[in-house]
Structure 1
Amino acid sequence: MEEDILLKLDNIELAEHEAATIPIITSDIRKSADECSRSLFEKIHGTKKANIAGLRRALNHLWQIRSSVSVRELNPNYFQFIFSDKEDKVKVSKGANWTYENQYLILQEWAEGISENHPGFQEVDIWVQAWNIPLHWLSSEVGIKLGSVFKQVKDVSVPQGGNLAGKCLRLLVTLDVNKPLLRCTHIQLEEKKILVQFKYERLVSLCFYCGHLGHLDRNCDKRMADIAAGNLREGLYGDWLKATESFFSHHINSSHPNPSPLSYTDNPINTLGFLKFQASDLKVEIPDQAASLMSTS
């Protein structure tokens, strides 16, 4: 709405005093620019409107930071968090996929011109478990290729023996929140083709009807439209897409968490149960079909 109004104003004839240009200098913006450099911008991906006071209380408890944080509401569910300590800002930005009232809080560093329409607010990083893979196929190379069906794969963990890790790979991937969640894919070695099921760790606010994050089926626009058109069908998503908490909870608070800033979740992989690989460290040939999925996602 605001962008439409600005576009309209930019294309109409203005009065003389409206068309005037007022000069400013660098010192005029020094304080506000410093605030922005200490800020994280946050968009809540969901339909439930956040209360700024409740959000501040919840995040102060969740983040466990030592300094104060000011919160500025820029638009509904779009906030600027101004940290008094830059180290606290870094800690939060490299922390978990934060959630508030079962909605993802998507954080972005400040950049000139940032708005709630920034592409980064359409992405969330999450750990995905890939199941039904033959034991002798459990490798980092396979994990990287599996991750190519997502927008980006950032990390892969491979189970070791003598642990409850089971026969699955764990992938840290970037999801496009505007697309339905992937339920499965296939991998093939020569004549053997395997269906791989995906399970998502700490998954919140999934619509079982359309498969999108950010709302539940009772608030699903597609479901409402199908009801109105007499085309209501059974939802093709469900709780089976959520990884069991007991499976991965013993990997939290590893004594050897991955120090890489790419792994910014609250679930560092236990190196006693998994071998870790950074996607950037692996040189893997990705088939043309998978490569095209990466480039178009």
Structure 2
Amino acid sequence: MEEALRKKWEGLTLIEQESDTMRIEETVLEPLVEKGNRCLLLQLIAERTVNKQAFKTTMSKVWRPEGWIQFKEVGDNRLLAEFQHERDKTKVLQGRPWSFDRNLVCLQELKGHISLQELDFNTEWFWVQAHEMPVASMTREIGRELFSGMVKVVEVETDESGCGWGSSLRARVIVDITKPLIRGRFIKVGGVQNWVPFKYERLPLFCFECGAIIHTKHCQGPNINAKGEQAHQYGPWLRANPPRLGGNDPQRYGGKLNQASNHEQKADSQKWAPSKVAQGGRKSSEEGKGREAMTVETSVLKIVPYRPPEERDHLAQKDPTAGVHQREQKVGSDLPILDEQLSPKREGYTVPEERQKSVELKRERFADEEPLSQDSPLDHPMAVIQGSSKRQLHHGSWT
């Protein structure tokens, strides 16, 4: 078809208006090029036309973007997805491969200088596992050589030292979906040759005869063995389950040196954590110049011995900061305490009659209790809880 169109175009004669070339400046394209950085071109590898509305609804839920996604149909089973945030697009690319109704969804980043029809969908990213490998050969360097038959080896999953010990050696690779899947490879270690089978995570529908995800006309159909039975060269054994989260735990346990290292890491993390609120109920923290201080309100708990009203009045006249008029001035920050906000004015204040009766009943009830000290427990019946908040202070009174 393409060859026929090419020959047809060679035989056309252009008129003057058609042969005139229109030149577009780069500055005109910049806004749309920036918009294209937030777009992806999607191609569903399916032999039939899929339900576009179901696809849009399903994938928008599966991807769970922070912003909106807008879809536009640009061909058969081909859509253009525009993301509100570029980070949502990056998250979708990192989560490949995706599938809808078991059909592969190929992704291509949009390039502003290429038309949508020129983009091909012959490759896709996969995680591949190599099983039954000798333990000593599960390294980053050997992994790159082992998967070199793929279009590209993006990364081999190993630790910091380059060791990939585990149930299998995993690699992030780019696969040519128009060609048969690579089922494995022979390796020779110490004079012994072993077959290392490959398995693909989240593998969608593919042909069990030719082994390609995009079923082409080159497929010769089912293979028949000597017994006249159908024998598949490929099958579901090429599929693998992704590893469980937390399976490769980098944390090291035990050992004095390791514990000291963990304590240092914990101390470093606490260094940048918000400081605890000191007595007084306010905290201020600056995260940058020009930012207003942030205050956090809390309560100050303190046990004070019970004093009769006469003694409290005498102390109040002698020292306004003692007894029931004691106030916590240390607040753990550079912000001053505003008396108008934190402390009610005492002049002209009259205790309600019901409150006076309640206080007298409690005095009579606990008259025989042993006196309080600063070391008395919180549940002592004569304990008085002093609290400070932004609206009211309780100075040694019953609450």
Three-state SS of the structure 2 residue aligned to 1:47 is coil
The equivalences for 1:170-249 within 5 A come to: 170-215=170-215, 222-224=219-221, 233-243=230-240, 245=241, 248-249=242-243
Higher relative contact order (CA 8 A, sep 6+): 1
Considering only aligned residues, what root-mean-square deviation do their CA atoms show, in Å?
Answer: 3.4
**1:56 correspondence with 2:80:** no
Distance verdict in 2 for CA 1:213–1:59, change over 3 Å: same
Q: Which residue of 2 aligns with 1:145?
A: 145
In structure 2, what residue type is equivalent to 1:250? R
Partner Cα distance (1:26, 1:6) in 2: 29
**1:69 correspondence with 2:66:** no
Judge conservation of contact 2:41–2:79 (CA < 8 Å) in 1: yes
In structure 1, what residue type is equivalent to 2:57? R
Partner Cα distance (1:80, 1:57) in 2: 14
Residues 162-220 of structure 1, C-alpha deviations (whole Å, 9 max, x = no match): xxx854211222111111011121111342211111111111112111111145xxx98
In structure 2, what residue type is equivalent to 1:109? E
Distance verdict in 2 for CA 1:220–1:195, change over 3 Å: same
**1:272 correspondence with 2:249:** yes
Three-state SS of the structure 2 residue aligned to 1:250 is coil
In structure 1, what residue type is equivalent to 2:202? R
In structure 2, what residue type is equivalent to 1:191? G
Residue 147 of structure 1: CA displacement? 1.4
Partner Cα distance (1:178, 1:203) in 2: 14
Partner Cα distance (2:153, 2:26) in 1: 41
The equivalences for 1:20-31 within 5 A come to: 20-21=20-21
Three-state SS of the structure 1 residue aligned to 2:100 is coil
Q: Which residue of 1 aligns with 2:89?
A: 89
In structure 2, what residue type is equivalent to 1:238? G
Partner Cα distance (2:19, 2:130) in 1: 59
Residues 25-81 of structure 1, C-alpha deviations (whole Å, 9 max, x = no match): 668756644442321112223323233222211111111112222212221122211
Judge conservation of contact 2:209–2:223 (CA < 8 Å) in 1: no
- The runs of 5 or more residues in structure 2 that have no matched partner are 160-164, 252-399
Structure with more of its chain in helix, by fraction: 1
Judge conservation of contact 1:205–1:214 (CA < 8 Å) in 2: no
Distance verdict in 2 for CA 1:55–1:2, change over 3 Å: farther
In structure 2, what residue type is equivalent to 1:68? W
In structure 1, what residue type is equivalent to 2:249? L
Partner Cα distance (1:3, 1:71) in 2: 32
Distance verdict in 2 for CA 1:13–1:178, change over 3 Å: same
Residue 10 of structure 1: CA displacement? 6.3
TM-score by length of 1: 0.68
Residue 136 of structure 1: CA displacement? 3.0
**1:44 correspondence with 2:44:** yes
- The runs of 5 or more residues in structure 1 that have no matched partner are 160-164, 255-269, 275-297
Residue 23 of structure 1: CA displacement? 6.2
Residue 86 of structure 1: CA displacement? 2.4
Larger Rg: 2
**1:129 correspondence with 2:129:** yes
Distance verdict in 2 for CA 1:154–1:34, change over 3 Å: closer
Judge conservation of contact 1:124–1:175 (CA < 8 Å) in 2: yes
Judge conservation of contact 2:104–2:204 (CA < 8 Å) in 1: yes
Partner Cα distance (1:98, 1:106) in 2: 8
Judge conservation of contact 1:138–1:167 (CA < 8 Å) in 2: no
Q: Which residue of 2 aligns with 1:115?
A: 116
